Chains A and B, each alone.
Chain A
Amino acid sequence: MPYRHVVGPRAYVFADLKDLMAKATPLRSGDMLAGIAAASAEENVAARMCLAEVPLTAFLSEALVPYETDEVTRLILDTHDLPAFRPISHMTVGDFRDFLLSATATSEALAALAPAITPEMAAAVSKIMRNQDLIAVAKKCRVVTKFRNTIGLPGTMAVRLQPNHPTDEVAGVTASILDGLLYGCGDAVIGINPASDSVPVLSELLKLIDGIIQRFDIPTQACVLTHVTTSTEVINRGVPVDLVFQSVAGTEGANASFGISLATLKEGHEAALSLKRGTLGDNVMYFETGQGSALSAGAHHGVDQQTLEARAYAVCRPFKPLLVNTVVGFIGPEYLYDGKQIIRAGLEDHFCGKLMGVPLGCDVCYTNHAEADQDDMDTLMTLLGAAGVTYIMGIPGSDDVMLNYQSTSFHDQLYLREVLGLKRAPEFEAWLQTMGITGPDGRLKPQGGGNALLTVAKGLDAGLAA
């Protein structure tokens, strides 16, 4: 069904709902690459005005990606919670924005609504929201998850300790883990991106991280970020796996390009649950997403990349993940050209995920071929901290020496805690104090060489000497 909007002497016509959504999206290079972006600044705003008048129910009757050929659309529509939807069923997209900002939309009300909000609804309202709206509403959303600690409590922000090494060497990975722990990082997960996808190497890394967690009784979880089918295989070989990881996208075709389907994810989820390794909860999945992946896979169906990103959260939702993060600036300038586009996308992704009830963190990052730098990342992480982001990455010196991109550092999370007063997951916070790493105020204590964690390093020194 076409949509029309008149601005002065000009009538803008949008072919259908997905065309309207694409034209209403704040400008970004990926939608331009796909040839679906608004042709002028005025058309962009006309589309937003038109979108503001669309009833939310339109998203239940007009699928942007065909129901018949896409299992993600079927998942979204077949599991939509109509009773929960009733309180907002009369609203337009514009009404919905006003409601979300109002005092009526409390944390409790938003949590009750989450299963009623389809990704398309979340994306639509985000398109008519300013950055401050995305922050203000996300801040009210509560999504709490548990495995060996409690992630997502108000006033907290967790950190994934990312100890990547270009050749997966045990000594180097261990050194980065120790450095991160001694900087107070690692409550979200100690999660490594392996350079290799070789099962023996992955097994060795899992045993390494698990060994450190067990030895010091750290209230956190381990993850080796490899393909879900590989994790399942590793589990079958009896290797300790806490969290099963997978990159996911918002269409069946894009997921196929990752070598997965909903059925594959279900198998991985069941394999991880069968190990019963969580002590506080059974949120066992870790997902990563990012705008542009569907277009990159040639499976975007003419839908804008931000809406497809929100659909990726719908893929995550039924698996009750512990952690989901958008890797916002990783994909490159053809999708998010510069710091401004990366910042906007990071705030949109976080808002949409939280509104849908998904524990959204953000890899605040950029690559060296994008028009962005550390100053842009400082801005985005500060805004996300204010928005209540579930977790960010902690990477030594911001420099990922395996994946070749820049993300947030161990220092960056200290900065955010200092300026925004953010605490860690409470169990991890207590552990850091017990270990003499932080004081009661959560700040780092000066360390001599005598911290018990550094006894792990003695083995490494021997390795170095040999």
Chain B
Amino acid sequence: MSKDGAPYVIEDAWVRLAATTPARIALGRAGTGMPTREVLRFALAHAQARDAVHTPFQAEEVARDVAALGFETIRLASAAPARDAYLRRPDLGRRLSDDSRAALRERAAQDGAPPDLAIVVADGLSSTAIHAQTVPFFTEFKARIAENGWSTGPVAIVEQARVALGDEVGEVLRARACLVLIGERPGLSSPDSLGLYLTFAPKVGRSDAERNCISNVRGEGLSHPHAAFKLAWLLKEALARQITGVTLKDESDLLLVAGQPPAARIAGA
């Protein structure tokens, strides 16, 4: 609605600042309330985020895309049989189904030496995030893996999974560390945000304080090259110092300040 058409709306003089942030600033007001246009814009965003939670995970497509980038893959499922059970019973989403556990063990027995890094791609609370971010992230991270000579296990594509499920996958694969890519709980402005969780010496029962997290990975948030750079820094430190979690502080930005922006490094890689 135009300013002329809404004489009861008080517009904010600093509306140009809205370009600096995705946050909903300088909305104006009608009395103490939000203007009609903002109330309805918000309602629409909430409706879309609600829908994102319940969009089915295209696991087969994701597995195909990851394989096309040159990774081995394996499709697994958590013990949560469906979305409703997943939402009410997080414990089920933290462990593999019996069938999946057996399949992963068989795979681990076939493979040779344990990998440096186990990788899990989990739908979490936003399959939309996995659909959008998996390929661009792996494209960047693949270069980091090559650069550092890390070995990886089969990338596990897991349905109805939570972060801690990576502990079991990492343990079965006897990996030195485990990376979980997971769809974060969708926000109004970001139904497609990816979270990265890194755990050294993964095994069932690890606590969240023993992980490092990089969140908001998406086009409009933390860029894929930057996320891959940070993750590689953390993984290098984790393997060298044999820790992850609150005792491992992310100081990768010091390298950025020192004149090694990830874009430049990647261009050179």
Chain A interface residues toward B at CB < 8 A: 29, 33, 163-167, 169, 171-176, 178-179, 182, 195-201, 227, 229-230, 233, 256-259, 296-297, 332-334, 337, 367-369, 373-374, 395-406, 409, 411, 414-415, 417-418, 444, 446-449, 451, 454, 457, 460-461, 463-464
Contacts and interface: CB of A to CB of B under 8 A. Distances in A.
Contact of A401 (B20, B23, B43, B52): B23
Given A257-B208, A404-B185, A411-B32, A369 B23 contact: no
Nearest to A164: B23
B43 to A, nearest CB: 8
Given A166-B221, A401-B21, A415 B187 contact: no
B14 A29 contact: no
A200 B257 CA distance: 9
B87 A400 contact: no
A429 B53 CA distance: 42
B152 interface: no
CB-CB nearest 7 A-B residue pairs: A397-B24, A404-B187, A172-B21, A259-B209, A414-B32, A259-B246, A179-B25
Interface string B162-206: 000000000000000000000011111110010000000000000
A168 to B, nearest CB: 10
Contacts of B250: 196-198
Contacts of B20: 169, 171-172, 174-175, 460, 463-464
Interface of B: 10, 12-14, 16-27, 29, 31-34, 38, 42-43, 45-46, 49-50, 52-53, 87-91, 125, 184-190, 193, 207-209, 212, 215-216, 220-222, 245-247, 249-254, 257
B245 A259 contact: yes
Contacts of B18: 175
Contact of B17 (A233, A414, A457): A457
29 contacts: A166-B216, A169-B20, A172-B20, A172-B22, A174-B20, A175-B23, A179-B14, A195-B215, A197-B250, A227-B246, A230-B246, A257-B209, A332-B90, A333-B88, A334-B90, A368-B53, A374-B46, A397-B23, A398-B24, A398-B42, A401-B23, A401-B187, A404-B185, A409-B34, A414-B29, A448-B13, A457-B14, A463-B20, A464-B20
Nearest to B208: A257
Contacts of A257: 207-209
Contacts of A173: 21
Given A200-B251, A404-B185, A406-B188, A178 B216 contact: no
Nearest to A333: B87
B22 A461 contact: no
Contacts of B189: 399, 401
A369 B33 contact: no
A318 B269 CA distance: 53
B184 A404 contact: yes
Contacts of B19: 464
B209 A334 contact: no
B205 to A, nearest CB: 8
A405 B185 contact: yes
Contacts, number: 195
Contact of A175 (B25, B89, B208, B246): B25
Contacts of A369: 53, 87, 125, 185-186
B187 A405 contact: yes
A176 B21 contact: yes
A399 to B, nearest CB: 4
Contacts of B209: 256-259
Given A29-B88, A33-B90, 19 more contacts: A166-B190, A167-B216, A175-B21, A200-B251, A230-B246, A257-B208, A257-B209, A334-B89, A369-B87, A374-B43, A396-B25, A399-B23, A401-B21, A401-B190, A402-B216, A404-B190, A418-B31, A457-B14, A460-B20
B78 to A, nearest CB: 14
A167 B24 CA distance: 15
Contact of A411 (B27, B222, B249, B253): B27
A171 B23 CA distance: 12
Contact of A176 (B10, B23, B207, B216): B23
Contacts of A165: 21-23
A98 to B, nearest CB: 37
A396 B187 contact: no
A132 B42 CA distance: 31
Contacts of A172: 20-23
A127 to B, nearest CB: 23
Which residue, of A178, A401, A446, A463, has the highest number of chain B Cβ atoms within 10 A? A401
Nearest to A411: B34
A13 to B, nearest CB: 28
B247 to A, nearest CB: 8
Nearest to A258: B209
A47 B13 CA distance: 57
Contact of B253 (A200, A332, A460): A200
A172 B21 CA distance: 4
Nearest to A230: B249
A257 B160 CA distance: 23
A164 to B, nearest CB: 7
A397 B185 contact: no
A175 B34 contact: no
Nearest to B23: A396
A261 to B, nearest CB: 11
A163 to B, nearest CB: 7
A448 B88 CA distance: 50
A415 B12 contact: no
B27 A397 contact: yes
A332 B185 contact: yes
A418 B207 CA distance: 45
A196 B221 contact: no
Given A368-B52, A396-B24, A334 B208 contact: no
B249 to A, nearest CB: 6
A198 B43 CA distance: 35
B34 to A, nearest CB: 5
B87 A397 contact: no
